[in-house]
Amino acid sequence: MTIDFCLPVRNEASLLRENTLKLRDFLLTNVSAFSWRIIVVINGSNDSSALVAAQLATENKDQIVFKVLELAGKGRALKAGLSHSQADILAFMDIDLAVSLDNLPDLLKPLLERRADLVIGSRLLPDSETNRSWLRELSSRLYIFLSRLILKHHLTDLQCGFKAIKREVYKNLEIYLKDDNWFFDTELVIYALRHGYQIKEIPVNWRENYYDERQSKINLLSDSWRFLKNLLALRHRLKKSSH
């Protein structure tokens, strides 16, 4: 059994080394029964992230590899990192490690036991623990409300950046994944539902480790309009493909 862990990175040189090594050390201790690799995908960065990633790959041969993309976008980075992987399981998470690595075994277990095709972390399950601003909490709840209303799903969190999927399932779905940015997560989950794959949600411990300087960028009015446009466009694609 082989597992690839993909980390999309944009202008985060200040924490790239520390958190990548933190993930590596956790895997060495807790996932030692499996063959694994960390794929760092630098996208649209103008800081020293690429140099840091190159040094990490040199120092950790066969454990850490990296790719550099000129264009930015979380979805673009994940597609670049996952599309050519030959691992049995493909996992991804945010480089700030907002979700505790202690949740990683729970993310992998349903796949390893063949009880799920896609496992997604949820910040909104009853057993989840979150520490974040009220504005981000409200934004997440607004998004899940709109997505349930428009896409008619039952899940509690589409956008948490902590997911794992069987490679053959990802390969079957990647043709439908059009978004190169944040909406990639929603496309992946909704198309997995659409194709009848088994999805398992797990509670996570989520902390707002790295977002203090980004909180001011949240605008509920403009974000809600952006959410709505993306969700309506996806519903249209789903309806069109069903005919």
Q: For residue 209, what are its two tokens?
A: 């480790």
How many CB atoms sit inside 10 A of residue 194's CB? 15
The number of angstroms, rounded, from the C-alpha of 36 to the middle of its chain's C-alpha atoms is 17
Strands 162-166 and 118-122: antiparallel
Provide the number of structural domains found in the chain: 1
Q: How much is the pLDDT for 41?
A: 98
Q: What is the pLDDT of residues 187-201, one digit of tens each?
A: 999 999 999 999 999
8 Å CB contact between 69 and 96 = no
Give pLDDT tens digits for 101-121: 999 999 999 999 999 999 999
Q: Would the pTM count as exceeding 0.85?
A: yes
Name the 3-class secondary structure at 96.
coil
Between CA 130 and CA 28 the distance in angstroms is: 27
Domain residue limits at 111: 2-241
Taking the C-alpha atoms of residue 134 and residue 19, their distance in angstroms, rounded to an integer, is: 26
CATH number, domain at 163? 3.90.550.10
| 133 has pLDDT over 70 | yes
pLDDT at 215: 45
Which helix (H) or strand (E) element contains residue 138?
helix 134-151
Q: According to the model, what pLDDT value does residue 219 have?
A: 66
Task: Of 127, 238, 125, give the one whose Cα is nearest residue 178.
Answer: 238
Q: How many C-beta atoms surround the C-beta of residue 25 within 10 A?
A: 11
Q: What is the pLDDT of residues 8-20, one digit of tens each?
A: 999 999 999 999 9
Total Cβ atoms within 10 A of residue 183: 22
The confidence score (pLDDT) of residue 29 equals 97
Q: How far is CA 232 from CA 148, 161, 236, 240, 242, in A?
A: 12, 22, 6, 12, 16
